[in-house]
Amino acid sequence: MDYFATVLISSLSSASILLIATLGLAVVFGLMGVINLAHGEFIMMGAYSALTATQLGIPFILAIPVAVLVTMVFGALVEIIIIRRLYGRLFDTMLATWGLSLALYQGAVLIFGSVSPGIGMPQINFNVGDYTLAAYPIFMILVAAVMLAGIYALLTRTVYGMKARAAIQVPDMARAIGIDSARTNTLTFAIGCGLAGFAGAILLPIVPATPSMGFAFVIKAFLTVVIAGPVTLAGSALAAIGVGTGASVVASFMTSVAGDLFFFILTVVLLRLYPLGVSAKWRIKL
């Protein structure tokens, strides 16, 4: 029973980690209709930014905003230089961000080498019956919830959020009433990248920074967004928690590859039932 509880808690924590890693992708997809194949590398960039900051003596808690800032600025540049030229060209956008993904990966290999030191996880533990769980991964459940609430507030309670939603729903009308949709999109993409950077930084104690860490995240992150469908925020949360928990239960009994495989197969089954994502017929919009 205790064992079952620990598996469930740690699986829920894995699902939350997945959600943290996915939200940036979901925001960009939901608000711009663009899939950023370099999303994993933005997570990696966030992780390395936070790592470098801590190595320079900045406390970890302050290294997180540094990582967010770095990835946001870089994301804004990418939007202006690349994405903006490819609006409405879905495949080309994916190819270009894919090229970026590999360039960033190789860039990280050249700058940081293929192995980097991790940073220690805060040593706080608690017990469930006979089992001891580390507190930090469990803390991620709370982080995911706060992130979700924060993004929801950002999109519904701020002027930017309203502009961004207007720009995606009726782009022409949004422009007609004076919303600079190009600038809104730049900000949206930067926020998406910033969220990826945040994920890389906050997960650093759990997932050490390596150049290839992005590829480890993207299978599940991309599939989560695909399962979610058009209502990206609520859909991703549901998909990450539903399928993600299942996959990590499988992974904890078998191997992590089996977890990924399970995730893939479940995605395919879900797409059979909901070809355009589980949220295709939902009436809420976020």
Partner 1 sequence: MEHNLTTAEKIHGSIGISAPTIAVIIALGISGMLDPYLAYVASLWVIYGLLGMSLDLVWGRGGVLSLGQTAFYGLGGYFGSVVAINFSELTGNSLIWALPTGAACGALSAAVIGYLIFYARTGPLQTTILTYTFTILLWTLSQSFKITIGEAKIGGDNGMANIPGMILDFGEDATTLEPNAMFATVVVISAVIYFAVRLLMSGPFGRVVDCIRIDGEKTELLGYDIRKYQLQNFMIAGAIAGIAGALFAAWSNYLNPSIFSVQEALMVPIYVLVGGAGTLSGAFIGSVLIGGLSFWLGGGAISGQTTLILGLVLIVLVIFLKNGILGALNSLWLRFLPDRNRAVHSIKPVTIDASVVENILADAEVAAGPPKSLETKNATKAFGGVIPVNDVSLKFEPGIPHSVIGPNGAGKSSFLKVCVGMYPPDSGDVLLGGENVSHSPIFQCVAKGLGVKNQKPQVFGELSIFENLWTAAFSMTRDKNKANQIADQILTMLGMHEQGNVEASALSHGQQQWLDIGMVLCLTPRTILFDEPAAGMTNEETRELSHLVRILAKKTTVLVVEHDMEFVRTLDGMVTVLHQGAFFAKGDIVKLRADDRVLDIYLGRRAHVQSI
Binding positions for partner 1, rule: CB under 8 A:
35, 37, 82, 85-86, 90-92, 94-96, 98-107, 110, 215, 218-219, 222-223, 225-226, 255, 257, 260-261, 264, 267-268, 271-272, 275-277, 283
**Is 85 or 183 the residue whose CB approaches partner 1 more closely?**
85
**Is 176 or 257 the residue whose CB approaches partner 1 more closely?**
257
DSSP bridge partners of 126:
133
71 Cβ partners below 8 Å, 6+ apart? 42, 45, 46, 49, 193, 194, 196, 197, 198, 200
**Is 118 or 230 the residue whose CB approaches partner 1 more closely?**
230
Q: How far is the CB of 216 from partner 1 (least distance, A)?
A: 8
**Is 65 or 242 the residue whose CB approaches partner 1 more closely?**
242
Q: How far is the CB of 105 from partner 1 (least distance, A)?
A: 7
Q: How far is the CB of 118 from partner 1 (least distance, A)?
A: 21
**Is 35 or 162 the residue whose CB approaches partner 1 more closely?**
35
**Is 101 or 210 the residue whose CB approaches partner 1 more closely?**
101
**Is 154 or 261 the residue whose CB approaches partner 1 more closely?**
261
Side-chain-side CA neighbours of residue 130 (13 Å): 4
Q: How far is the CB of 109 from partner 1 (least distance, A)?
A: 8
Side-chain-side CA neighbours of residue 87 (13 Å): 14
147 Cβ partners below 8 Å, 6+ apart? 19, 20, 23, 195, 198
Distance CA 202, CA 93 (A): 28
**Is 132 or 255 the residue whose CB approaches partner 1 more closely?**
255
Q: How far is the CB of 101 from partner 1 (least distance, A)?
A: 7
Q: How far is the CB of 173 from partner 1 (least distance, A)?
A: 19
If we measure between CA atoms, which residue out of 67, 106, 97 comes closest to residue 79? 97
Q: How far is the CB of 212 from partner 1 (least distance, A)?
A: 9
Provide the H-helix boundaries in the chain.
Answer: 2-32, 39-55, 60-81, 90-112, 135-157, 159-169, 171-176, 181-202, 213-228, 232-253, 256-273
Is residue 50 within 8 Å of residue 204, measured between CB atoms? Answer: yes
Q: How far is the CB of 94 from partner 1 (least distance, A)?
A: 6
Burial of 53 (0-12, 13-18, 19+ CB in 10 A): buried
Instruction: Tell me how crowded residue 275 is: count the other CB atoms within 10 A of its CB.
Output: 9
